[in-house]
Every structure is written in structure tokens, then in C-alpha cells.
Amino acid sequence: MTGDARNHFLADFARIVDTLPGAGVPWLGRLRRRALDGFAQHGFPTRHDEEWKYTSVAAFEKQAFFAILGKRSDASAAAPLVKSFVLEHKAAHLLVFYNGHYAPALSSPGRLPAGVILGSFADTLNRMPEALAPYLAREDQQPAFGALNTAFMADGAYLHLSCGAILEAPVHLLFISTEPGGASYLRNVIVAKEGAQASVVEHYAGSDGAVYFTNAVTRIFAAENAVIEHHKLQQEGSDAFHVAGIHAIQQRDSRLASHSFTMGAALTRNDITTVFDATGCEATLNGLYLVGGRQHVDNHTRIDHRQPSGSSRENYRGVLDGQARAVFNGKVIVHPGAQKTNAYQANHNLLLSREAEIDTKPQLEIHADDVKCSHGATVGQLDENQLFYLRSRGVEEAAARNLLVHAFAHDVIERIRVSSLRIRLEQILRARLPQSGHVKELS
């Protein structure tokens, strides 16, 4: 990392620190400063760092992003974008964030059942920081972007479900960015107490042509027998930078489903992790990335089986066109004593052009002997035999190609239980399929 890039973010923190939510809360101030000191010491990753071996942030470092102050009066300008991106689900609990800050005028949280709190992270941090303390004080020294998020975290969603609370309708968190040169530091906290259940859609969208930066961290705490279905849809503008983490901690017999869909941004980095802190945990991690042009997407996942009788399933698929590049690194770690673990991991990739590239590295680290674990990865082009079969049945070449690509991607989309999101993903997929006999770049 260049000294100029490091100094820029340090100066930006000094500019904005007094306006951040919770300013004046001693423990929070210390947390922010520790994170910033860690960033100042280690800087941004380079390709010498194993976790960033195939992803360069040099283009990011050349930009001068500034944290966006909360100008809520400007949120009305986002109304047309909200209309175009909101999911068609009238019963959903909708929270809209514009350029990194909650926009109540554009939101419709709806009626919440007893035992459920849903609102702005910033408002919660200002009004009752003690409610968030247990979920923020656990922060460790995160590398680079995670440290920046902890230092700058300004807004996001706070969802708290008391014991046994069940949200029937999904929560839709819509984050819209439009400001050139702007940086949004978003922190979402999801807490599900014993037996609670909820479905959350975390949705990022923005303007094409604007170069901006989204830095988001979502932390999920699933207590005993809790069930959380988390969905992330990334439709950032074509010139945006998107770096995000989703990190879960699971207790006894809890179930987590994570579905990640990456379509936008020039550079995307997703880190998704879960830790089994008790027996009987289950986790499902599914992902789909559709990229073209010169887009770059990097998915890093990690499942820590720390206790016995855990079960995990992971299925990530990618469709790449143009000169796009993707990275998949999935780690499943079975710790000593985590007997009766059952884990499966797969990454499959479809390359639609000769210039597209994928670096895939599924990993299993097993330190217990009574386990059932497997993993695998494939990289290939459209199957010529399948194309020939469809063509021999009278299907035109372009339609045959579309059918094969659709079937490949649909394997992940069909797993979504939120119907409005599943329909939206189908629409996005169909819009990105090649429209002629010549496979062209996905836009």
C-alpha cells in the first residue's frame, strides 16, 4: 500500500470521527481507534498475502474516496431507484439506505411482531449503545477493509429477535449508492435468540458511471435452535468497488442459510464465514456470480466445525464472459474433537469466452477421524454434446446456449425460498443471457 493511500484514509477518519454515531461513548471510541491503528500498521493487502493472491487492490488505492456524511434530506432523489430495485413483496419489512445512511422516508418497516426490533444501526448506537456492545466489543483485529469498517462504521440495519420470535415476511435491506467518490461504511447486526426465525435480503445497488466504494460488514448471532436465512444480492454500479464480509456465530442446533449473488461492480470481494460454537449446527452456503467485461469477483468462504455433529453444504457457481475474472477460495475446517462432522463443498464454473479466467481453490482441513467430508471444483465451457443434442431437436444455436447457461445458473437460484427474490434473480439472469448466436459479454 502506498503511503498516500494510507494517509488519505487516516485523514478522512480525523475529518469525520466526531460525526460518527456513538461519538463520545468511551468503549466505542477505543474500538474505533484500535481498528484504525491496525489498519495504519498493516495497510491494504497485496498479492503477497495468501488470502489476496489473485486479487489486486491497486486500482482501488488510486482512488480518493471520502466517507459520506449523513445528508438525509437528499434521500428523496433516490425514490426512482428505490422503485426500480425494491422487491415486489408487499409484506416485506423494507429499510432503505441512501449513500450509506438510513432513509426513513423511503422505508416501510411495517408492523413487527412482539419481540422483534428492526431499525437503523446508527440510531441504535446513538440511543442505546449498550444494546450493541456485546456484538461489537467482540471485534478482533481485522485486516485492512474490516478494520476500516470498524473504524468508520456509520449506519446499517439492526435486527434483534427475542426468544421464539418469528418473522413471517422477509426483511429487505436496500442499500443504494449514487455519489461519485463516496465511501459508505455499513454495519449490519442480526441477533436471533433461542428458537427465533427470520429471512433477510441484503441488497446493494447503485448508479452506473459513478465510481464509489461500499464497505459492508454483517454479523449474525444465531442462538440455540435459531434459524436464519440470509440472502445477499449485489447489483452495484459498473464502476463501483464493493468489499464486504458476512460473519456468523452459531450455537447449539442452529441453522444458517447464506445465499450470495454477485452481478455488479468493477471489483467485488466477499468474505463469508460461520463458526459452529456448539453441537448440532447446520450451515448452507450457496453462491452465484454472473460477471463479464473486465469485472473481477473474489469469493472467500470459511466454515469452522469446532464442535461435534455439525453439517455443512456449500455450492458456488460462476458464469464468466468477456475478460472477467473470478476467484473462489472455500475453506472447511474440522477442528480436533469435531467428530460426526458431515461437510460437502463444490465450486463449478462456466466460461463463455476464451479471455475469462477463474482461480478456484476448495479446501478441506480435517483434524478429526470420524467425519464424512468431500469437495470438488470444475471449470469448463458449454458442453458441445449437449449443444448438438439441442440443435438436433430443432433448437436454434443461440436458444440452445441460453438454455444451457440458464440451467447451470438456475441450480442455485431455485434454492431461494423468498419468491420475490427468486423471481428477480430469474429476470436478471434472462436479461444477461446472450441474445444472438454469438456469445457476447454480460453487461
The confidence score (pLDDT) of residue 437 equals 40
CB burial of 373-399 (b: ≥16 within 10 Å; e: otherwise) equals bebebebeebeeeebeebeeeeeeeee
Cell of 171: 426483511
Residue 181 carries which DSSP code? T
Phi-psi category of 195—alpha, beta or left, where left has phi over 0 and alpha has psi -120 to 50?
left
Nearest-angstrom CA–CA distance, 388 and 187: 49
pLDDT digits (tens, 9 = 90+) for 426-442: 999 988 886 544 333 33
In this prediction, residue 389 carries a pLDDT of: 56
Q: Do 157 and 118 meet the contact criterion of CB atoms below 8 Å apart?
A: yes
**Would you state the cell numbers that stand for residue 131, as one nine-digit string?**
444494546
Pairing status of strand 267-276 against strand 213-222: unpaired
- Answer for the pair 306, 279: CB distance below 8 angstroms, yes or no: no
Please measure the distance between the N-terminal and C-terminal CA atoms of the chain and give it in whole angstroms.
Answer: 31
Question: Residue for cell digits 445497488?
Answer: 205
Q: What is the pTM of this model?
A: 0.94
- The H or E element spanning position 411 is helix 397-413
Give yes or no for residue 165 having a pLDDT over 50: yes
- Nearest Cα to 257, choosing from 313, 316, 204, 334? 313
C-alpha cell at 243: 468489499
Q: Is the pLDDT of residue 265 over 50?
A: yes
* DSSP code string of 19-79: GSTTTT-HHHHHHHHHHHHHHHHH-S--TTSGGGTT---HHHHTS--EEPP--GGGGGGGH
162 pLDDT higher than 80: yes
Cβ proximity of 341 and 310 under 8 Å: yes
pLDDT of 88 > 80? The answer is: no
- pLDDT computed for residue 77 by the predictor: 78
The rounded mean pLDDT for the chain is 91
Segment 166-187 shows an average pLDDT of 96
Parallel, antiparallel, or unpaired for β 116-120 and 227-235?
unpaired
**Within 10 A of 68 (CB to CB), how many other CB atoms are there?**
23
Q: How far is CA 122 from CA 33, 107, 246, in A?
A: 18, 15, 19
Whether the CB-CB separation of 224 and 254 falls below 8 Å is answered with yes
User: Looking at per-residue confidence, does 311 or 89 come out higher?
Assistant: 311
> What residue has cell string 464486504?
244
Q: What percent of the chain has pLDDT over 90?
A: 80
CA dihedral 258, 142, 326, 315 (to 10 degrees): -20
